[in-house]
Amino acid sequence: MASEVQTRPMTADELFDLPDDGFHRHELVRGELITMPPPGAQHGGIAATVVELLAPHVRKQRLGKVLGESGFRLETGPDTVRGPDAAFIARERVPADGLPEKYWPGAPDLAVEVVSPSDTYDDVHEKALDWLAFGARLVWVIAPRRRTVAVYRSPDDIVVLSADATLDAGDVIPGWSARVAELFE
3: in domain: no
Quick one: pLDDT band at residue 72, thresholds 50, 70, 90? very high
- Which is higher by pLDDT, 185 or 131? 131
In this predicted model, what pLDDT tens digit does every residue of 15-40 receive, in sequence order?
888 877 766 788 889 998 888 888 88
Maximal C-alpha separation, the chain: 67
Chain-wide mean pLDDT for the chain? 91
The pLDDT, as a whole number, for residue 125 is 92
Task: Tell me what pLDDT residue 4 has.
Answer: 53
Within-domain flag for 14: no
Is the whole-model pTM more than 0.85? yes
pLDDT value, residue 167:
98
What CATH number did the domain enclosing 72 receive? 3.90.1570.10
- DSSP per position, 46-109: HHHHHHHHHHHHHHHHT-EEEESS--EEEETTTTEEE--SEEEEEGGGS-TT-S-SS-EES--S
Range of the domain at 65: 30-184
Residue 63, pLDDT above cutoff 60: yes
Q: What distance in Å separates the CA atoms of residue 115 and residue 39, rounded to the nearest whole number? A: 9
> Tens digit of pLDDT for each residue in 84-98?
999 999 999 999 998
pLDDT for 130 equals 94
Average pLDDT over residues 169-182: 97
Rounded distance between C-alpha atoms, residue 127 and residue 108, angstroms: 14
Q: Quick one: pLDDT at residue 1?
A: 47
109 in a structural domain: yes
| Total count of domains within the chain | 1
Q: What is the pLDDT of residue 6?
A: 47
Q: Is residue 23 part of a domain?
A: no
- pLDDT range class, residue 83, cuts 50, 70, 90: very high
In a domain, 9, yes or no: no
Assess contact for 128 and 110: CB atoms under 8 A.
no
